[in-house]
Chain A
Amino acid sequence: MAELLQFTITGIAVGMVYALIALGFVLIWKSSGVANLALGQIVLLSSWFTYAMLVQAEFPLWLAFLLVILFALGLGWMIERFALRPLIAQPILALITVTLGIGYFIEGVVIFIWPWSVDALPRLFPREVLHIGPAVVSQEYVWVVGICLLVFALLTLFFRYHKMGIAMRATADDQMAVQACGIPVTTVFSRSWMFACVVAAIGGILISSIGGITQGLIETGLKAFSVVILGGLDSFLGAIVAGPIIGLAESLGGGYLTPYLWAGVKDIIPFIIIIIVMIIKPYGLFGEVRIERI
Chain B
Amino acid sequence: MSLPSGTRNYTYAQDMAILRTKTHWALFIGLLVLLMAAPLYLSNYWLGVANLIGITLIAAIGLNILTGYCGQLSIGHAGFIAVGAYTAAVLTNRLELPFLVGLISGGLTAGAIGLIFGLPSVRVKGFYLAITTIAAQFIIIWVINHWSVTGGFVGIKVPYASIGGFVFRTETSQFYLIATIAALCTFFAKNLARTRVGRAFIAIRDNDLAAEVMGINLLYYKLLAFFIGCFMAGIAGALLAHWIGFLNAEQFSLTESILYIGMIIIGGLGTTVGPIFGVIFIRLLQQILTVQVVPFLERTFTMMPSGFATGVTPMLFGLVIILFLILEPRGLAHRWALLKSAYRLWPFSY
Contacts and interface: CB of A to CB of B under 8 A. Distances in A.
Nearest to B306: A115
A168 to B, nearest CB: 20
Interface of A: 35, 37, 83, 86-87, 90, 92-94, 96-98, 100-116, 219, 222, 225-226, 229, 233, 262-264, 267-268, 271-272, 274-275, 278-279, 282, 292-294
B246 interface: no
A92 B127 contact: yes
B258 interface: yes
Nearest to B75: A100
A35 B124 CA distance: 14
B318 A106 contact: yes
Contacts of B274: none
A112 B312 contact: yes
B310 A105 contact: no
Given A94-B329, A104-B255, A111-B310, A83 B128 contact: no
Contacts of B258: 100, 103-104
B321 A108 contact: no
Nearest to B146: A262
The binding surface of chain B is classed by DSSP as: helix
A278 B127 CA distance: 11
Interface string B294-317: 000000000001111111111111
Interface of B: 67, 71, 73, 75, 117, 119-120, 123-124, 126-128, 130-132, 134-136, 138-139, 142, 145-147, 207, 209-210, 213, 255, 258, 261-262, 265, 269, 305-322, 325-326, 329
Given A98-B321, A106-B318, A107-B318, 13 more contacts: A90-B325, A90-B329, A93-B71, A97-B321, A98-B325, A105-B317, A107-B311, A108-B317, A111-B310, A225-B134, A229-B131, A272-B135, A294-B209
A142 to B, nearest CB: 30
B308 A113 contact: yes
13 contacts: A37-B134, A90-B325, A98-B326, A103-B258, A105-B315, A108-B318, A112-B312, A115-B307, A116-B305, A116-B307, A279-B119, A282-B128, A294-B209
B148 to A, nearest CB: 9
A112 B147 CA distance: 34
Contacts of B316: 108
A105 B318 CA distance: 4
Contacts of A222: 134, 138
A275 B138 CA distance: 11
B314 A105 contact: yes
A16 to B, nearest CB: 21
Given A101-B262, A264-B146, A294-B213, A109 B321 contact: no
Given A100-B261, A275-B132, A282 B124 contact: yes
Nearest to B141: A268
A274 B135 contact: yes
A233 B127 contact: yes
Contacts of B120: 275, 278-279, 282
Given A222-B134, A264-B142, A96 B325 contact: no
Contact of A115 (B73, B126, B305, B315): B305
B140 to A, nearest CB: 10
